[in-house]
Amino acid sequence: MLANVCEKNYAAEARYTNFYAGGDIAWSVDGERLYCLNGDVVHEVDVETSTITNSFGVNVGSGSTADNNKSSRQNSDTDGIEDTIYCFSLSSEHLVTAHRSGLLRLWQLSTGKMLKLWKAQHKGPVVKIQFSPCGKLICSSGGADSTLRVWDFGNSSCLCALKDFAGPALLLRFHPNVLVRELYAVGADNTVYCWNFETKNLIRKMRGHLSQVTGLSFQTAAADCKQMVSVSRDKVLIVWRLDEQFEAHQLKVLPLYEELEGVTHIANGGQLLVASASGKIQQIDTNTWKIKELLKQMEFEVTRLLHCIQTDQLALVTTEQNILIYNVLTADEAVTGIEAFKQLIGYNDEILDMCFLGDNDRYLAVATNSKHFKLYDTNHNMNCKLIAGHTDTVMTLAASNNLLISAGKDCSLRLWKLSHETDFTLLEVTQQKSCHTATIGCIAFTHHGANGFASVCQDGSMKVWQLSRDQQDRTTYIITLRYAVHAHDKEVNCVCYALNNKIVATASQDKTAKLWSADSNALLGVLRGHTRGVWCVRFSPVDQVVLTSSSDCSLRIWSIANFSCLKRLEQECTILRAEFLDHGKFILSAASDGLLKIWNIKTNTCVQSIDEHSDRVWTLAVSSCTNRYFYTGGADSKLIKFNDVTETTRNQTLDIRQANLEQEQTLQSLLHAQKQLHKAFVLALTLGRPKASYDVISHFVRKRDEAAVQNLVDQLNIDQRVTLLEHVKAWSTNSRHSRVANLILQHLLGKAMLNPLANFYNHGNMIEVLTPYVQRHFKRVTELNRELAFLEFIVKCM
27-46 pLDDT, tens digit each: 999 999 999 999 899 999 99
pLDDT higher than 60, residue 190: yes
- The pLDDT value given to residue 616: 95
Sheet holding 545-550, edge to edge: 534-539, 545-550, 554-559, 565-570
**Residue 502 C-alpha from the chain's centroid:** 41
Q: Which residues contact 307 (CB under 8 A, 6 or more apart)?
A: 27, 264, 266, 273, 313, 314, 315
pLDDT higher than 70, residue 216: yes
| Residue ranges in 261-389 assigned as alpha helix (H) | none
Identify the residue with better confidence: 106 or 723: 106
pLDDT higher than 90, residue 166: no
Q: Which of 471, 472, 357 is nearest to 425 (CA)?
A: 357
- The pLDDT value given to residue 498: 94
- The pLDDT value given to residue 335: 80
| Residue pLDDT, tens place only, 92-116 | 999 999 999 999 999 999 999 999 9
In whole angstroms, give the CA distance from residue 729 to residue 672: 25
DSSP string, 461-474: EEEEEEEEE-SS-T
Q: Which helix (H) or strand (E) holds 99?
A: strand 94-99
| Residue pLDDT, tens place only, 618-671 | 999 999 887 789 999 999 999 999 999 988 888 888 888 888 888 888 878 877
Length in residues, the chain: 798
Q: What are the boundaries of each domain within the chain?
A: 214-347, 669-784
DSSP 8-state code for residue 28:
-
Q: 489 near 510, Cβ under 8 Å?
A: yes
Average pLDDT, the chain: 86
pLDDT higher than 60, residue 786: yes
| Residue pLDDT, tens place only, 569-585 | 999 999 999 999 988 89
Q: Are strands 523-528 and 534-539 parallel, antiparallel or unpaired?
A: unpaired
Q: How confident is the model at residue 72 (pLDDT cuts 50, 70, 90)?
A: very low
- The pLDDT value given to residue 709: 78
In whole angstroms, give the CA distance from residue 633 to residue 613: 8
Tell me if residue 695 falls in helix, strand or coil: helix
- The pLDDT value given to residue 607: 92
Burial class (CB in 10 A: 0-12, 13-18, 19+), 268: exposed
| Residue pLDDT, tens place only, 656-666 | 888 888 888 88
| Residue pLDDT, tens place only, 503-520 | 999 999 999 999 999 988
Largest CA distance in the chain: 130
Tell me if residue 310 falls in helix, strand or coil: coil
- The pLDDT value given to residue 558: 95
In whole angstroms, give the CA distance from residue 589 to residue 598: 7
- Whether the model clears a pTM of 0.85, i.e. scores above it, the answer is no
Q: Which of 15, 1, 13, 2 is nearest to 645 (CA)?
A: 13
**Residue 372 C-alpha from the chain's centroid:** 20
In whole angstroms, give the CA distance from residue 454 to residue 639: 27
- The pLDDT value given to residue 643: 93
Q: How confident is the model at residue 240 (pLDDT cuts 50, 70, 90)?
A: very high
Sign of the dihedral through C-alpha 518, 523, 528, 530: positive
Fold of 214-347: Methylamine Dehydrogenase; Chain H (2.130.10)
pLDDT higher than 50, residue 550: yes
- The pLDDT value given to residue 71: 37
Q: 431 near 417, Cβ under 8 Å?
A: no
Tell me if residue 175 falls in helix, strand or coil: coil
Average pLDDT over residues 767-774: 65
- The pLDDT value given to residue 768: 62
DSSP 8-state code for residue 106:
E
Q: 455 near 462, Cβ under 8 Å?
A: yes
| Residue pLDDT, tens place only, 368-377 | 999 999 999 9
- The pLDDT value given to residue 259: 94
Lowest mean pLDDT among 156-170, 487-501, 634-648, 656-670: 656-670
For 275-297, what is the HEC assignment? EECCCCEEEEECCCCCEEEEECC
pLDDT higher than 60, residue 76: no
